[in-house]
Amino acid sequence: MLEIQPVKSRRERAEFIRLPRSIYPKASPWVRPPDMVVNGYLDETNPFFRNGVGQAFLVRRDQTPVGRIMAHVWKRHQRLHGERVGYFGFFECENDPHSASLLFEAAMEFVREHHCEILRGPFNMTGMQEAGILIDGFDRAPAVDMIYTAPWYPALLANYGFQKCLEMETRSNENVTSVDPDAAVAHYRTPGGTGVVRLRHLSSLRRNAEMELVREVVNASFLGNWGFVPINREEWELQTAALLPILDPSLVILAMVQGVAVGVTLAVPDFNRVFRKTNGWLLHPASLLLFGKSRLKEVVVILCAVRKQYQGLGIARLLNAELLHNMRKRGYRSLSTTWIGGENTPSLASTDAFGMTRRHRVAMYERPV
């Protein structure tokens, strides 16, 4: 017997967090995220809930949880983009259309009650968190900050009437030592009339202030992009909390023009390989470093952002070329990206220049409420 229920108690939240472990076998490429990170997103102290509402649901089969979903409405998004859209996220489900339909119907009812006209997802609450489901590349493990979902999810979504609204992809190059970073930017011009571009890496002594600078560049760069909502300081601190312990300052590159940060590449070592070994336990930062940082050879670009007035001048490639130089100095070999929109031709071309090829295809879906 199937039954849908809202998540109310601490025990039910723990069941919600644990549920994916029953979906993915040990041999799966899926990487269990740290429980404390997921709990932080669900907790009422999450700054999202100051401008949004949400409700988590579990579907049970004979009292055993077999699926989960989070329905939420982000009011800041509605005000900025002028669309009555509600979202679902944290979707995981057994391979059964009846279980999935109960979850989707619960999400539909929640966003309908908040006057939404569209249900879209998967989207884990804000734009800096995980989004989409995998539609290709199921044999490849995700790097840090990437999603991995079961191969039957596209069919479950289609069965309920969802259609794709955005396609994305992740890319990788397993041996960037074969790429000449200077050759990749040899034909690009620098910003004429705006001053010399100076590249520098993040200062570890001023890490928090530097990350705030990154936030400012990201907001200025992505404003107007599909679905993007400027990130406030509290949201940024929550979303980057899991990254701070694993930052290698040499992998965070800032482009400066006349003392102003105009671009940034934020990359981190791929600690998903460590999390696979620790089964999702987030260790103390010092222990985490000892456990694997010196052995890791993989790097993931979380984001690359350039202020609007400096886009199209090759600054993104200059940033990424500097990243490759620093990777070589530090002994890293492999480079991956998080998702890139399928319509983002400049970013895809930039990854082509560094010998990167598609790793995963990811999609977001929507349907009328």
- Percent of the chain exceeding pLDDT 70 equals 91
Token readout for 241 is 């909390």
Tell whether the model's pLDDT for residue 191 goes beyond 70: no
Q: Are residues 145 and 220 in the same domain?
A: no
Q: Are residues 101 and 162 in the same domain?
A: yes
Q: Are residues 49 and 182 in the same domain?
A: no
Residue 366 lies in a domain: no
Q: Mean pLDDT in the chain? A: 88
Q: Are residues 211 and 134 in the same domain?
A: no
Burial of 15 (0-12, 13-18, 19+ CB in 10 A): middle
Q: Are residues 155 and 179 in the same domain?
A: no
* Amino acid present at 56: A
Residue 367 lies in a domain: no
pLDDT top residue among 178 and 174: 174
Residue 43 lies in a domain: yes
Q: Write down the pLDDT at residue 308.
A: 93
Q: Which of 168, 186, 206 is the last residue of a domain?
A: 168
Residue 66 lies in a domain: yes
CA 347/CA 50 separation, integer angstroms:
33
User: Per mean pLDDT, which range of 64-73, 139-148, 206-215, 223-232 is the poorest?
Assistant: 223-232
Confidence of residue 286 (pLDDT cuts 50, 70, 90): very low
Task: Enter the pTM of the model.
Answer: 0.90
Domain coverage including residue 308 = 173-361
Q: Write down the pLDDT at residue 133.
A: 96
- Output DSSP code: residue 4: E
Q: Are residues 183 and 130 in the same domain?
A: no
Q: Which of 136, 168, 200 is the last residue of a domain?
A: 168
Total structural domains within the chain: 2
Residue 281 lies in a domain: yes
CA 287/CA 179 separation, integer angstroms:
33
CA 334/CA 235 separation, integer angstroms:
30
pLDDT in tens, 303-337: 999 999 999 888 988 998 999 999 999 999 999 99
Q: Which of 146, 168, 190 is the last residue of a domain?
A: 168
Q: Are residues 239 and 352 in the same domain?
A: yes
Q: Are residues 90 and 183 in the same domain?
A: no
CA 162/CA 150 separation, integer angstroms:
17
CA 125/CA 44 separation, integer angstroms:
13
CB 247 within 8 A of CB 56: no
CATH of the domain at 319: 3.40.630.30
